A and B are shown apart, each in its own frame.
Chain A
Amino acid sequence: MKRYDAIVIGGGHNGLVTAAYLARAKKSVLVLERRPRVGGAAITEEIFPGFKFTMFSYVVSLLRPEIIRDLDLPKHGLHILPLESTVTPMENGDYLAAWGDHDETRRELYRHSPRDAEAYDEYGRLMHFMAQAVKPILGMVPPDPTSFAPGDLAGLLKLGKHFRGLGGERLHALVKLMTMSSADFLDEWFETDVLKATKSASGIIGTFLGPRSPGTAYVLLHHYMGELDGVFRAWGFAKGGTGAVSEAIASAARSFGAEIRCDAGVSKVLVRNGRATGVVLESGDELSAGIVVSSLDPRRTFLQLLDSNELPAEFVADIKRFKFRGSSGKVNLALDLLPSFTCMPGIGRQHRGAFSISPSLDYVERAYDDAKYGEFSRRPYMDIVFPSMIDPGMAPPGKHVMSIFVQYAPYHLNGGWTDAKREAFGDAVVNTVESFAPGFTSKILHRQVITPLDIEKITGLSEGNIFAGELALHQLFFLRPAPGWAKFATPVRGFYQAGSGTHPGGGIMGASGRLAAMRILKDRA
């Protein structure tokens, strides 16, 4: 039987990145994917003939440019297209728009508040500095603050120096970002409610928090990190949808010699004398490997693939405490014609960007209120894009696909999710869009509604959390996924973790997968 240097469990984008880096370093690598195709939550599927849906994740936020270069992804078909504008329709028929051009955006804001138009630049400058300050952390293996190991001390020293180098003003801003709610933080800067609502909405994505919940301000920063990349433009829409990102990474991994096997779910990781020796497939077959890497979320990695007696009891308790609480759903539509929004009638460049359904802070907070008490939002926050306007190949010529990210749709719904509840949720989404774009409903050719339960069933992500574990401050950096085990190794020798449930996690970034591969190669050197 062939023995691999490494077996990677899960063919999501992080698992594929790990596999590609390991294969690039001349290791024999096998990726095992449970589904018939790679991609995990980054998949594009033709659900309705001729219409390609970015099933779950729909934009590429922060895919690391070094990964694109190291793996030569453009050669394997990756093309990230800019997504430039955001239009927020308001309930009074007006709108707030942010365009690709700075002057145009400033003039638009001036219409709402001359004061905010000026504050916007200063805010942007501060956030730019803050993002610059936080960004190196994304590429860093988190040092353990309780450890006296030379590597951890050096890492902490580097981190300490880094923060001291920020200076007073920025350090204060960082503390505020780490502790405040996004609504409060934005209140310090702006008076235009719709602006605060739209900005804060980006701070709640994938969390079970509202814009007035403390800790959400930090997530605002994530958006500026994409902008930091400025001309590098890591932020955008992948040609062919996010599935094309996965396919490109898979193709790169294969070109380095990695094997990828689909329809090959793993039921257990084999452990002998505290050391991982291989895996057992759902089919019962056993495969052996020098190391085993799981790119699944922490719950499945540790509580499902391993027997808990292989792990320290406290660690198991920590993993059990790790919060998932999926809070978002997705509605994908095939459209005969694009919808015309009341606030900006007609079809135009606005359809090439996003529409944010976040007309006021109260609106978004109320959407959260529903979820807090176990219901989906009757009028949810939505982030809408028309992928076919960016990549016309996503739909037949002249037809369109519409991707609606919806929050909140709690995993733990009162009474549980049923088919009827799913359709009621889909109706709430469609009816809300209809209220901003009358006539929209009649243009729908096909509707796909995805609840957190569906996300869990299809991708395996526990509780349907799109970030493989909530991106809340208490679950980041050296606490992701558990104190003492944030450095991709696990209590089982030869068993590593590489998914979004590890630092830095979240979004199609690939950073977790890359850092895990680096760690493995260092251990094996």
Chain B
Amino acid sequence: MSLRTTPFHPRTGPLSEGQAWRRWAGYVVASAYELSHDREYHAIRNSAALFDVSPLYKYMVTGKDASRLLDHVVTRNVGKAKVGQVLYTPWCDDEGKQIDDGTISVLGEQTFRMTSADPTLRWLHLNASGLDVTIADVSETTAALSLQGPSSRAILQIAAERDLSALKYFRLTSAKIRNIPVTISRTGYTGDLGFEVWVDASQAVPLWDALIETGTPYGLTPAGMLALDVARIEAGLLLIEVDYFSSRHALIESQKSSPLELGLGWTVATDKERYNGQAALDAERKRGPSWQFTGLTVDWDSLEQLYADVGLPPRLPSQAWRTSVPIYDRGGHTQLGYATSGGWSPLLKRYMALAHLGSEHAPGMEVRMEVTVEHHRKQAKALVTPLPFFNPERKRA
């Protein structure tokens, strides 16, 4: 088989009712286990969903200079992070254009686990010359599950036989689940209360079984990428190769973005020594980024009217889309930018999109989004909406 399956495949494989799989970093993971991803989506917001996120690239960075290396690579301040903290961070090239984004888990004073969407081993090595640091690719030996939703903590507390109420947002702890050593981090890609559980790949199947057995009475539902895609748009979380292109893959300059343009200004440290892209980012911050990454809410009445004009009830994409869609000004003639992801939020009953727009377009401003109605290109009214669309208190509580 040319594509790999993850360590959880002995369990996830038989669950797939429609044999719907998606490629992710050379692996296949479930798009949806059931024929429709509906119930899997609702589990994220209503009870708890279990995702196999093993395909993430994972690196262990250890040694005296581990923190120095990471601080040189990423934009967040790693040196200031405490053991037990997890940092979400982008990293950039020298021009301050984003290469990738991921997390850094501070496992010890000199032990860090970095996750990325693209292979990053070479980039870490390139930046490590002269440093006392060991970089190990643990992508294949570390498996990971993401347990997301309002009931995730209750389930995990029983499975790990310990109180997790003190585990704060973006913190981690080591634990044992049925004697399997795991790391539990309060992280995820859904914008909800949720955790990720990191485990040695050899223990993947018993970990899955333990969580499913504990979680089923709480409504724990295995879920695939289609459900995750809707949740991450509601949470306003961006996706590489969809919402932005890695500067290392971009073919032309205009395909690149800076973290400041992607709404990640809060991750760009102003209090640390030299790091990749620092000068360019400092300058950009001073003059203000020319682009922004923002939410759009498509006006329902406007969309309904476009369909009524051809005698149809409004049709909505049944899955989140990830194509580039032009955004115009109110008059409908001047293009202001483009949306990169969008979809219907079953929870919010809103048609939402993530878009790149000039920085001058403030929340509440009215724009037009291109929609195809019965083979014809039309424009629906949309409002600039601050991200995230959905931000429940329980996420951080």
Contacts and interface: CB of A to CB of B under 8 A. Distances in A.
Contact of A397 (B45, B218, B347): B218
A148 interface: no
Contacts of B315: 230
Contacts of B300: 65-66, 69
Contacts of A393: 47, 151
Given A66-B300, A79-B45, A228-B313, A74 B38 contact: no
Nearest to A67: B349
A74 B344 contact: no
Interface string B20-37: 000000000000000110
A306 interface: no
B316 A81 contact: no
A265 interface: no
B151 A392 contact: yes
B183 interface: no
A165 to B, nearest CB: 9
B349 A101 contact: no
A74 B349 contact: yes
Q: How large is the interface on B (under 10, 10 to 19, 20 to 34, 35 or more residues)?
A: 20 to 34
B151 A231 contact: no
A65 B313 contact: no
B46 A239 contact: yes
Contacts of A100: 35-36, 38
B330 interface: no
Contact of A391 (B46, B344, B348, B350): B46
Nearest to B314: A232
B35 A391 contact: no
B39 interface: yes
Interface string A161-199: 000000000000000000000000000000000000000
B346 A231 contact: yes
B36 A231 contact: no
B14 interface: no
A341 to B, nearest CB: 20
Contacts of A391: 46-47, 219
Nearest to B319: A231
The range of chain A's interface size is 20 to 34
Given A101-B36, A230-B316, A398-B217, A69 B349 contact: yes
Interface centre among A74, A100, A233 (most CB of B within 10 A): A74
Contacts of B46: 79, 81, 239, 391
B217 A397 contact: yes
Which of B217, B316, B347, B349 is packed against the most chain A CB atoms within 10 Å?
A: B349
Interface string A368-398: 0000000000000000000000011100011
B318 interface: yes
Interface string A202-224: 00000000000000000000000
B42 interface: yes
Nearest to B391: A75
A491 interface: no
Interface string B267-282: 0000000000000000
A414 B192 CA distance: 54
Interface in B12-67: 35-36, 38-39, 42, 45-47
Interface string A19-60: 000000000000000000000000000000000000000000
B334 to A, nearest CB: 28
A342 interface: no
A294 B344 CA distance: 36
B390 interface: yes
A233 B346 contact: yes
Contacts of A228: 313
Contacts of B317: 231
Contacts of B217: 392, 397-398
Nearest to B158: A397
A100 B348 CA distance: 21
Contacts of B45: 79
A156 interface: no
A357 B211 CA distance: 36
A231 B344 contact: yes
B42 A232 contact: no
A232 B35 contact: no
A392 B47 contact: yes
Contacts of B218: 392, 397
A65 to B, nearest CB: 5
Nearest to A66: B300
Of all A-B residue pairs in the complex, the 3 with the closest CB atoms, nearest first, are A392-B219, A397-B217, A398-B217
20 contacts: A65-B300, A66-B300, A68-B348, A69-B350, A74-B348, A80-B346, A82-B42, A100-B36, A100-B38, A101-B36, A132-B313, A230-B316, A231-B346, A232-B344, A232-B349, A233-B346, A392-B217, A392-B219, A393-B47, A397-B217
Given A79-B42, A393-B47, 15 more contacts: A68-B348, A69-B300, A69-B349, A74-B390, A81-B46, A82-B39, A101-B36, A228-B313, A231-B318, A231-B344, A231-B346, A232-B344, A391-B46, A392-B219, A393-B151
